[in-house]
Structure 1
Amino acid sequence: MASPALERLRIDNPTIEFSEGDARRLHHPHDDALVVTIQVGDYNIHRVLVDNGSSADILYYPAFQQMGIGRERLVPTNAPLVGFGGARILPLGTVTLAVTIGDYLQQVTRNVTFLVVDCSSAYNAIIGRPTLNSWKAVTSTYHLMIKFPTNHGIGELRGNQVSARKCYVAMMEMDNHIQAMNIEERRVATEPTERLEDVLLDEAHSKQTTKIGTLANPTVRQELATFLKENRDVFTWSHEDMPGIDPSVMVHRLNVSPSFPPVRQKKRTFAQERDQAVAEEV
């Protein structure tokens, strides 16, 4: 029989694990995002992205407005967010709201401080590492599920695969969407150590250029430019210059369910001048 101290340790630190049964309801194979529904105050917020790579919890402004929260509750902040493309956006402010996940009795409620962002997104909110860590949550993108400890055992929050795919399509259709996920670290701006100059590698192709530094003496720079021109064949300017890429390095595939057979769309007819333009582009 286990000692009372060991039993107490198991209760305070329950083991969290996933099984194949947890993934039985999903369509496989998949690379879908983990998109869930959470309770924020008195509202159920759908289309919430769970992102382990995000250093911030984000609430998009349209959802903030629909919840009827006054802007006077926003606390100003000067920490910009940085997206994958390097774009920066300054949040409108922060707001702290009670978030509940799980089913009674296996649920947790924590106050979450969201950065409120006014930009295009298919999601209503993003849950990042700060909240996941406060929940002591374990996420599985394969099972599309979050598991977390509660006072009454292990709680679960399942992702919505259909909603995840709809959000993915919506994000792809946006012209200027910004998926800002990380708080920018404050850094001292530094100037470049040297100015760069362009080197034309091929006189017949004005766009085939590279850059070299200007701190070296003119003789060294001329020798370097000559060397680059003589070896310009190692540069790639289009996909045609990179034939035979090994699939282990990079491969493209469609994220579709194998249970759905491919369907050929009906051929469209165009006016003669448009048809010719399409043929030339293809």
Structure 2
Amino acid sequence: MEKHRRTGNDDIVFSEQDVKGIKQPHDDTLVIMLTIEGFNTRRVLVDNGSLADIMYVMAFWQMKLDPKRLKPFGSSLVSFSRDCVYPKGIISLQITAGTNPTQVTRMVDFLIVDCPSSYNVILGQPTLNFLKAITSTYCLKVKFLTPHGIGEIIGGQLLARECYQAVLTSRKNHTWRRRKI
């Protein structure tokens, strides 16, 4: 592992410069692109509240990853709505965040989940903490330390809105059954 070299200013700050190009006011989610196993993976939701890094099964199949690489995962996930989801397994994949020279590469354990989502991946606390990443939903940006300075990933406001619209459309087209209490 390459040792972190001080660049003189390792403080991660967000300024008005970071907001340029963002239509304000907004309440958009932080959706980024990340390189996973060499694939430029779009629709990656950055979720500071997620206790796991998650990849949805559709993205898993689109990347043509070998199912033999999946290891069993014996626990369920509980969603915000208290639904239980049982992962298909866990897989270690290489991610690259940022752009050269201010980028980092590391292995991430993703839980593979088979349920509908407008996202391909949820990047949660395990990876955000490892990267010492700081997120700004206002700026739609992630910043993190690298051996060559501060790296950043700019979120896609249009992409975030597309994902949100996809969720609304799927809910509208879904027939909901009421549960008896």
The two structures have a TM-score, normalised by structure 2, of: 0.89
Q: Choose the corresponding residue for 2:17, options 9, 18, 21.
A: 21
| Residue type of the alignment partner of 1:174 | S
Tell me which of the two structures has the higher relative contact order, counting C-alpha pairs closer than 8 angstroms and 6 or more residues apart: 2
SS of the equivalent of 2:73 reads coil
SS of the equivalent of 1:166 reads helix
Q: Which has the higher strand share?
A: 2
Tell me what 2:177 maps to: none
| 2:31 counterpart of 1:35 | yes
| 2:71 counterpart of 1:75 | yes
Tell me what 2:109 maps to: 113
Q: Choose the corresponding residue for 1:63, options 59, 63, 67.
A: 59
Q: Choose the corresponding residue for 1:135, options 122, 126, 131.
A: 131
- What is the deviation of 1:53? 0.5
- What is the deviation of 1:110? 1.0
| Residue type of the alignment partner of 1:95 | I
Give runs of aligned pairs for residues 105-254 of structure 1, distance below 5 A: 105-175=101-171
| Residue type of the alignment partner of 1:97 | L
* Matches of 2:81 and 2:5, distance apart in 1: 45
**Deviation digits for residues 16-41 of structure 1, max 9, x if unmatched?**
00001100110000000000000001
Identical aligned residues as a percent: 49
Tell me what 1:95 maps to: 91
- What is the deviation of 1:83? 1.1
* Matches of 1:123 and 1:9, distance apart in 2: 35
* Matches of 2:133 and 2:25, distance apart in 1: 24
Extract unaligned runs of 5+ from structure 1.
Answer: 1-7, 177-282
Contact 2:34/2:40, CA 8 A, preserved across alignment: yes
- What is the deviation of 1:80? 0.6
- What is the deviation of 1:11? 4.1
SS of the equivalent of 1:133 reads helix
**Deviation digits for residues 234-278 of structure 1, max 9, x if unmatched?**
xxxxxxxxxxxxxxxxxxxxxxxxxxxxxxxxxxxxxxxxxxxxx
Extract unaligned runs of 5+ from structure 2.
Answer: 175-181
